[in-house]
Amino acid sequence: MADDIAAGSELHGTGIGRGIATGPVLRMPDPLPEPEETTSTLTADAEKERARASLAATAAIIRHRGERAGGSAKDVLEAQAFMAEDPTLIDDVGARIDAGKTAERAVYEAFAAFRDLLVSMGGYMGERATDLDDVSQRVVAHLRGVAAPGVPDPDYPFVLVARDLAPADTALLDLDKVLALVTSDGGPTSHTAILAREKSIVAIVGVQDALRLTDGTDVIVDASTGSVSVGPSDADRAAAAAKAEEIKAARSSATGPGALADGTLVPLLANLGSADGAADALAKGAEGVGLFRTEFLFLDSSTAPTVEDQKAQYVRLLQAFAGKKVVVRALDAGADKPLSFLNDAPEENPALGLRGLRALRANEPILRDQLMALAAADAETDAEVWVMAPMVSTVEETRYFTTLARQLGLKTAGVMVEVPSSALLADRILADADFASIGTNDLTQYTLAADRLLGSVASFQDPWHPAVLKLVGEVGKAGKAIGKPVGICGEAAADPLLAVVLVGLGATTLSMSPSALADVRAELARFTLEDAQRFAELALSANSAIEARGAVTAAAAGA
Ligand code: PEP
Ligand code: MG
């Protein structure tokens, strides 16, 4: 039960980015209760007809939403519509109705069984389980004649408050109406946080008491401080409006190359998963590409891509970034991103298994093909191509990859630092590698032993944790000592204040979702290298991620 939170109170969570917004709360409706185990009073045929009609209507509604949304949301929703039309699932619903269940109960149980099957498959299929729950709820709502759960659609702008958001909900958010997002669950690397960053939505995740906020209550959502102010006074509203204006002005005035206030250059690069995002990244001021996730090109392929196929994709990207640096990552398959042609054996703990460079090395012809395709694309274009290996955990692996890449014609070969062992031996790794790029998403996952996909341990997945920052500092120190670049390409680089800390720890470039570039550029311009180093010391001496963020936020406010 939601009980009112007194005006003047503040709730706290993890802010995503720097935005601020004021508006009335609108809660995401609670999920529908589980349909009861009652015996149907209708004939089996009548129940089957009800189920059939609701499944078909739900598929049509979802498909229509997809067409309205376009882009990648269309594909997500088309896949959901297919789930409601799956013949095996429809047969299962029929069999359960024959056993005496109501259409509601039969739909609920059949989807749940399908969901459990997907979860047991793990990886990409396991993640689709949430989508299936969403479809199940929609069909049951249709059968009951009640509104489908999901993002409300009033005719005024609002602050959306939810436990967390399903991918289908986030993909369809109407950015003209959703002023801000506040969720009770989720950490800084959750799906909601990543999407909020991508779409520049003001967001605070992990706000414990968020679900006590009631519809219509006015709140100020300030991502830079991670605070939700309830029932603000006129003076609070005016201050929030002024802060929003300031942020807008800072974003538009901070143009050109990324740099600190003292002129220290910090090139700002884009993370991309296909050449399609190149024009947008350039328009947002990307000075190059710091992470090209090549595995995203082939997630649906059942066979390894040919050299020709790959070359064509790489040429397209390199042409778009002519004259600029492009860091291409060799296929990072496994765990959350399995590629069927590289990961064929089931593993109990795929994040600790044959993933990244380990999988490539076990299938060396595929790695060779990729490096040859990239070298050929490099020869035909004018971008400055760097190549790096994912999930490197030893000096020996570094040597293996950089030697092979150079043999196959690539001039600049480096490694990602995503495993604590690589950070701890960064001096030796950088003796072989031309550069290091720190993947803070995986580095946080492995340092804190917290699965980056698991909501129940999301609070551990915080790159502000001093243990993670200490490892980043090790790599920064090693890079400086040996005179080699150290980039950051995990989500941490997209958090403006953390980006300053990372530079203080020795990062020489930052790579992020293009939508984060403006805020990070503006934040860097506020501080000198000396400030950044002071913030880094403060963060390193904290006992927790929350303490580190708090200490640096306070110091930045006074700087
Ligand atoms: C990372 O782990 O931080 C990273 C950039 O790689 P990915 O998110 O693709 O695993
Ligand atoms: Mg990674």
Q: How far apart are CA 211 and CA 193, in angstroms?
A: 18
Q: What is the pLDDT of residues 480-508, one digit of tens each?
A: 999 999 999 988 999 999 999 999 999 99
pLDDT in the model for residue 1 = 40
pLDDT in the model for residue 2 = 44
pLDDT in the model for residue 372 = 98
Angle, in degrees to the nearest 10, between helices 466-482 and 529-540? 140
Is position 12 annotated as part of the catalytic site? no
Nearest atom (ligand 1) to Cα of 336: 10
Helices and strands of the chain, counted as H and E runs: 22, 16
**Residue closest by Cα to atom 6 of ligand 1:** 439
User: Are the C-beta atoms of residues 339 and 299 closer than 8 Å to each other?
Assistant: yes
Q: How far apart are CA 418 and CA 480, in angstroms?
A: 19
CB contact set of 9 (below 8 Å; sequence gap of 6+):
229, 230, 231
Coil/strand/helix, residue 184 = coil
Nearest atom (ligand 1) to Cα of 390: 6
pLDDT in the model for residue 32 = 85
Mean pLDDT across the stretch 364-385? 98
Any idea where the domains of the chain sit in the sequence?
A: 10-29+151-237, 44-144, 264-558
pLDDT in the model for residue 127 = 61
Q: Which CATH superfamily is domain 44-144 in?
A: PtsI, HPr-binding domain (1.10.274.10)
pLDDT in the model for residue 451 = 86
User: Are the C-beta atoms of residues 177 and 156 closer than 8 Å to each other?
Assistant: yes
pLDDT in the model for residue 167 = 58
In Å, how far from its chain's centre is CA 364? 29
Q: Between vectors from CA 76 to CA 75 and to CA 77, what angle results, nearest 5°? A: 90
Coil/strand/helix, residue 385 = strand
Q: How far apart are CA 74 and CA 396, in angstroms?
A: 44
Q: How far apart are CA 469 and CA 538, in angstroms?
A: 11
Q: What is the pLDDT of residues 53-93, one digit of tens each?
A: 999 999 998 888 888 767 666 777 788 889 899 999 999 99
**Residue closest by Cα to atom 3 of ligand 1:** 439
Q: What is the pLDDT of residues 100-143, one digit of tens each?
A: 999 999 999 999 998 888 777 765 566 667 778 889 999 999 99
| DSSP-assigned states of every residue in 498-544 | HHHHHHHTT--EEEE-GGGHHHHHHHHTT--HHHHHHHHHHHHT-SS
- Ligand 1 pocket member 442 (CB < 6 A): yes
Q: What is the pLDDT of residues 187-230, one digit of tens each?
A: 666 667 777 777 788 999 889 899 999 999 999 999 988 899 99
DSSP class of residue 351 equals G
Q: Which CATH superfamily is domain 10-29+151-237 in?
A: Phosphohistidine domain (3.50.30.10)
CA 332 to ligand 1 center in whole angstroms: 9
Is position 142 annotated as part of the catalytic site? no
CA 441 to ligand 1 center in whole angstroms: 5
Residue 379, pLDDT > 50, answer: yes
Nearest atom (ligand 1) to Cα of 491: 3
**Residue closest by Cα to atom 9 of ligand 1:** 293
- Ligand 1 pocket member 440 (CB < 6 A): yes
Mean confidence (pLDDT) of the chain: 91
Topology of domain 264-558, CATH: TIM Barrel (3.20.20)
Hey, which of 331, 415, 418, 513 would you mutate to test ligand 1's pocket, going by the most ligand atoms within 8 Å of its Cβ? Answer: 418
pLDDT in the model for residue 7 = 87
**Residue closest by Cα to atom 10 of ligand 1:** 442
